[in-house]
Amino acid sequence: MIGGLSEVVGVVGGLGPRRWWPWRSRVDPWAVLIAEFLLIQTDAFKVSLTYEGFLRRFPTPCSILEVGQGEVEAMLKPLGLYRQRAERLRRAAEYIRDNYDCRVPCSYSELRGIPGVGDYIAAAVAIVACGESKPILDTNIARVLSRAVLGRNPSRRYMSDKELWMLVRQVKWNKELLYSIIDFASEVCTARNPKCTQCPIKNICKYHTGKVM
């Protein structure tokens, strides 16, 4: 790994996930996929209030296709953007029905072909539900690795940052590491006013040591 990356990943990953959400105990690809769809542009706490009830009502992709669009929208209304979410889920369910007999595939390449599933969601489902190690990048991962390893804040266009992608491709991703980094970014390495003095990687974080020097 590039200098400092393995140590940063080792320390942060060793902290373990710091928060509990109902979807984190799930390993079924459909359950993980639902969580990722609902979390788009939505606070995790709000999703936690809807998630389990939604999954009980729609335990498989085909169960969404057995009811009217209005019923799906009604369950998603507390999250906002409910029409868009319901339509996105219906298109994904139709594709899964037509191509995989209503069973969510468990490989990154197949997940990526589902309508509405981008790089992050496909990688997240592959890592969490399928045990694949796939490069993954979101605002949390970008912030931690960019600061700690590259010594800078990530740009707004972090998804096209070649240096960041080089980093995440070197990491052996698993469910625990993914959630650990996300939680670390949320609670310690925050976008504004990061808690650098309390940070367990402050002595190896190039962003912090650069400021101190």
Rounded to an integer, what is the distance from CA 49 to the centroid of its chain? 18
**Residue 96: predicted pLDDT:** 98
Helical packing angle, 119-130 and 175-187, nearest 10° = 120
- Rounded CA separation 76/130 (Å): 26
**Residue 209: predicted pLDDT:** 86
**Residue 2: predicted pLDDT:** 65
- Rounded CA separation 162/142 (Å): 11
**Residue 213: predicted pLDDT:** 41
pLDDT, averaged per 10 consecutive residues of the chain (213 residues), comes to 85 95 96 96 95 97 96 95 95 98 96 96 97 96 97 94 96 97 97 94 92 50
Amino acid present at 131: G
Question: What pTM value is reported for the model?
Answer: 0.93
- Rounded CA separation 112/6 (Å): 28
Domains and CATH numbers, the chain: 5-19+135-212 (1.10.1670.10), 22-130 (1.10.340.30)
**Residue 210: predicted pLDDT:** 80
